[in-house]
Structure 1
Amino acid sequence: MTDISTESAAVRRLWQGLGLPGLVDVHTHFMPDNVLRKVWAHFDALGGYWPITYRDGEQARVARLRGFGVRRYTSLFYAHRPGMAAWLNDWAAGFAAAHPDCLRGATLYPEPSARDYVPAALAAGARVFKAHVQVGGYDPRDPLLDAVWGALADAGVPVVVHCGSGPVPGEHTGPGPFGEVMRRHPELTAVIAHAGSPEYTAFLDLAERYPRVHLDTTMVFTRFTERRAPFPADGYPRLKDLADRVLLGTDYPNIPYPYLEQLDALVGLGLGDDWLRGVLHDNAARLFDL
């Protein structure tokens, strides 16, 4: 791993050179320790294909983000079975209270109680939700979620949705199912995780169709992802046209390379300093009213 102080200095030079006050990363993961260790065990089981670069304690991970100059970040987590989301949301409330630079998070799952705990989380101050269609193995069109999507749309609170088919397709991944959710709830503020990898073109279409749909950059454009799911060349002009709806995401700490690599990959696109300023800070600052 890159020396911590060296990497922090390089990250800071990048955003300072753009005249920014720091970074806003909308796709970082903090969750209860026992849950995070299960996530890491999943990646470990891949036999070295996906090493966790920042495998250390919670406070060290928080401190490193601050060292990078990340002004705001998220504690994204997700439920994969009934009865899990509500207690994760309770945990997130405590985490955000202890770490004011974290945007308070929440999650959801298609279960009858979602009709109650999602509005409760909104009323208590949740600022971003995470929905993981792939890991959760659920259909986002499930009738149990229809009122939930409606409540989120009405509240204007963003939901980061992993609905692309990368890295492994699921029964309900791809642009079709979540595209139907957007058809039913066109005012939903959705952030498509990983820019919809590998179905980039279809999710660019979705963002162009619905003005509240955003794309996050998580792992996209890096050497790691380009080997398996390269971003299409004809998509770059469209990314520039969507300049105000592309947000920095990294998947920190669960990434198989240094944090700086994501930023360097974005710089390497050559889409201009104004585009970079929006992606690295200004778009999310506006979306979350920071």
Structure 2
Amino acid sequence: MPDAADGQEAREVREVREFWGRLGLPGLVDVHTHFMPERVLRKVWAYFDAAGPLTGRDWPIAYRRAEEERVALLREFGVRTFTSMLYPHKPGMAAWLNSWSAGFAARTPDCAHTATLFPEQGVAAYVREAVEGGARVFKAHVQVGAYDPGDPLLDPAWGLLTEAEVPVVIHAGSGPAPGKHTGPAPVGRLLARHPGLRLVVAHMGMPEYTDFLDLAERYAHVHLDTTMAFTDFSEATVPFPVRERGRLADLADRVVLGTDFPNIPYPYVHQLRALERLGLGDDWLRAVCHDNGARLLAPARVSQGIHSFGQEGSQGGPAGW
């Protein structure tokens, strides 16, 4: 007799595939999914289970499964490209995490090679190594890492990533709990120094939605990912302002699908339905759920001049920045 859970999963797979099939898409591109070393992921899950201070509420993990099962499920959903968002909470972790993620990308070709960084000595060298090794996206977690993205130690790394046109998914909003360096002001200062940096503001910048929309309008390379935004879970505590929906439509080419899979407290399909019920139309959904992410995660351009940005002590970017 079929297991009830198997039947529920089969229905969800069908619903996800029906969603993108109705839009005439070849599948989905999800810029914000998490894969990391098993012992690190288990610590992350334990933090969610304990409703730690950075979550502050019950947060059941919907897809607590073995790595190969999670990869297989994303493929069943029709996610053509996804990421392995991972991040350090202290110095000395980032280079090791980058080594793991390079191996994961090598054995998982539909995962965009993901890397991370932290303000520490040597950051420029390992960021350069990751970019030259094919990294297509970086993750910066200002909340967990408790650092200022404008820290001078990061300046050569930001310059390198700008030159190489590698996007950075940055958790800088003050949700679900504020940190010393969260909020739009530190990101605004970073962009003033590196206006060409391809920043992807995670979670639409919740709860400072309006301020991060302002930054996206001001800087042409700033994107926003939908991770957990508009869902019932988030709307209950940090609702997206209805008055700002028109701005989402205006930024149709720079909003990208993100979900936080597997660390979400609801089914994957709910994120898609939450986007659909915004009522912004099928063209907007097609751009957000596939086209924008596919363009953003295209293989990075590694220029001949990239090495100049990887030297410790380099300041900023080219003249005029």
TM-score in same-fold range (> 0.5) = yes
Structure possessing the higher radius of gyration over alpha carbons: 2
Q: CA deviation at 1:75?
A: 0.2
Identity percentage over the alignment? Answer: 65
2:239 is the counterpart of 1:230: yes
Whole-angstrom CA distance in 1 between matches of 2:242 and 2:23: 25
Q: CA deviation at 1:286?
A: 1.6
The answer for unaligned runs of 5 or more in structure 1 is none
1:261 match: 270
2:145 is the counterpart of 1:145: no
1:164 match: 173
Structure 1 counterpart SS, 2:82: strand
Amino acid across the alignment from 1:8:
V
Q: Deviations over 1:103-158 (max 9, x none)?
A: 00000000011011001100010000000000000111100001111111010000
Structure 1 counterpart SS, 2:109: coil
Structure 2 counterpart SS, 1:3: helix
Structure 1 counterpart SS, 2:81: strand
2:13 match: 8
TM-score normalised over the length of structure 1: 0.98
The answer for unaligned runs of 5 or more in structure 2 is 300-321
The 5 A counterparts of 1:97-108 are: 97-108=106-117
CA-based RMSD: 1.1
1:38 match: 43
Whole-angstrom CA distance in 2 between matches of 1:289 and 1:18: 22
Q: Deviations over 1:163-193 (max 9, x none)?
A: 0000000000000001100010000001000
Structure 2 counterpart SS, 1:72: strand
Whole-angstrom CA distance in 2 between matches of 1:163 and 1:288: 20
Whole-angstrom CA distance in 2 between matches of 1:285 and 1:135: 27
Relative contact order: is structure 1 or structure 2 higher (C-alpha 8 Å, sep ≥ 6)? 2
Amino acid across the alignment from 1:5:
A
Whole-angstrom CA distance in 2 between matches of 1:120 and 1:248: 28
Whole-angstrom CA distance in 1 between matches of 2:199 and 2:188: 11
1:93 match: 102
The 5 A counterparts of 1:1-290 are: 3-46=8-51, 49-289=58-298
Whole-angstrom CA distance in 2 between matches of 1:139 and 1:46: 25
Whole-angstrom CA distance in 1 between matches of 2:107 and 2:20: 26
Q: CA deviation at 1:46?
A: 1.6
Q: Deviations over 1:207-228 (max 9, x none)?
A: 0000000000000000000011
Whole-angstrom CA distance in 2 between matches of 1:286 and 1:58: 26
Q: CA deviation at 1:288?
A: 2.3
TM-score normalised over the length of structure 2: 0.89
Whole-angstrom CA distance in 2 between matches of 1:126 and 1:22: 22
Q: Deviations over 1:204-259 (max 9, x none)?
A: 00000000000000000000000110001111000000000000000000000000
Q: Deviations over 1:250-269 (max 9, x none)?
A: 00000000000000000000
Do the aligned residues in 1 keep the contact of 2:228 with 2:259 (CA within 8 Å)? yes
Q: Deviations over 1:47-72 (max 9, x none)?
A: 97100000010000000000000000
Amino acid across the alignment from 1:232:
P
Amino acid across the alignment from 2:230:
F
Whole-angstrom CA distance in 2 between matches of 1:149 and 1:63: 34
Amino acid across the alignment from 1:16:
G
Number of residue-to-residue matches in the alignment: 290
Whole-angstrom CA distance in 2 between matches of 1:77 and 1:25: 15
Amino acid across the alignment from 2:125:
D
Do the aligned residues in 1 keep the contact of 2:146 with 2:180 (CA within 8 Å)? yes
